[in-house]
Chain A
Amino acid sequence: MVVKKIVPKVQPKAKVVPNMKVLTTKSAPAKVGSALNTIKLSTIKPAAKPIVKPATKAAPKLTITKEPLKKINNSIQKETAVKTDTKKKKLVEVTPEHETYFVYLKNPLEYRRHLLESSRKILLCLRSHQKIFLIRQKKLEEMSKLKASVRELLYLNKKFNEKLPKYNTGFLEDMPSKDKSKPVHVKSVAAKKPADIKPERTEMDRLEESLANIEKKLKTLQ
């Protein structure tokens, strides 16, 4: 163990040391024959009480070295003891307004561990939430891509159908007459009219309609 010696900071006592300047009033004249006679009278300032100031900072050191160290240590110990006592008293003396109650827990470390683990899991949850958020964003992007490509496919399919020769299977099944070859055209016009009347048709409605048309065609083929 390393024991540190406490070097006390002793306040310099108001002693008159030979190398100290003493400022006195006019009513208190300097003693004749002392070392203070060296001070000029013009430098003396008037004051109600004699003010003593240490001439140098080394002055307190001199006072410490003169006293035995044991005595100083004892005095410091006493001072510190008094201070701690006052602190204890402060802790003990609690007003009824600030009364606090404590509950004893048997295994505090365990609880702490559990709490920390819970916090860790919560953070993991937050991280996974962030990951899911990013994944969903990516998924949405991919779905928009898919939607675009499906639309393109639909358009291409339409083109493909246009290139193929048109024939009405219903017409083949029904009575073969020249007048009934036109209903295809009539149907398309009839299909367009409701679209003009109902401008608030959703994408879903259109898809449903096209699906129904295709199913109808499939049924006729079978």
Chain B
Amino acid sequence: MDKNLPVFVKINDYKDVLDVVDVMKQKLKETTQTLDKIKQLKAEEDKELQEWEKNVTEISRRLAFIDSAFFENE
């Protein structure tokens, strides 16, 4: 038998299928929006983490300076 045979769907089921497809479209839209939001939040988090790293580097640098100064005095 040929695989490319036409598929026939009952008219009642067809309406249901259309409804389901509509709902799926809506859900997909929502999902895409949520994903975008998550991406945005991730970007914010990355930015904050970068800021954090920068600050920690700065603190370590300053501390090293102070430490070296005190060590010189010793």
Query: Which residues does A use to contact B, with CB under 8 Å?
Result: 103-106, 111, 114-115, 117-118, 121-122, 124-125, 128-129, 131-132, 135-136, 138-139, 142-143, 145-146, 149-150, 152-153, 156-157, 159-160, 163-165, 169, 172, 176
Cβ–Cβ < 8 Å partners of B1 in chain A: 172, 176
Find A153's partner among B28, B55, B73 (CB 8 Å cutoff): B28
Complex Cα distance, B55 from A197, in Å, reads 55
Contacts A136-B45, A163-B14 known; 17 new A-B pairs at CB < 8 A? A106-B69, A111-B66, A118-B59, A118-B63, A118-B66, A122-B59, A125-B55, A128-B48, A132-B45, A132-B49, A135-B44, A145-B34, A146-B38, A153-B27, A156-B23, A157-B24, A172-B1
Q: Can you list 16 contacts pairing A with B, beta carbon distance less than 8 Å?
A: A105-B69, A105-B73, A111-B69, A125-B59, A131-B44, A132-B52, A143-B38, A145-B34, A153-B27, A153-B31, A156-B24, A159-B20, A160-B21, A164-B17, A165-B7, A176-B1
Cβ–Cβ < 8 Å partners of A105 in chain B: 69, 73
Complex Cα distance, B44 from A150, in Å, reads 24
- Could you say which of A131, A153, A163 has the most chain B C-beta atoms within 10 Å of its C-beta? A163
Cβ–Cβ < 8 Å partners of B35 in chain A: 146
B42 touches A139 (CB 8 A): yes
In order of increasing CB-CB distance, the 4 nearest A-B pairs are A121-B55, A163-B17, A146-B34, A163-B13
Per-residue CB contact flags for chain B residues 5-24 toward chain A (1 = under 8 Å, else 0) read 00111000110110011011
Cβ–Cβ < 8 Å partners of B41 in chain A: 135, 138-139, 142
Complex Cα distance, B56 from A88, in Å, reads 46
Minimum Cβ distance to chain B for residue A175 (Å): 11
Cβ–Cβ < 8 Å partners of A138 in chain B: 41
Minimum Cβ distance to chain A for residue B56 (Å): 6
Cβ–Cβ < 8 Å partners of A169 in chain B: 3
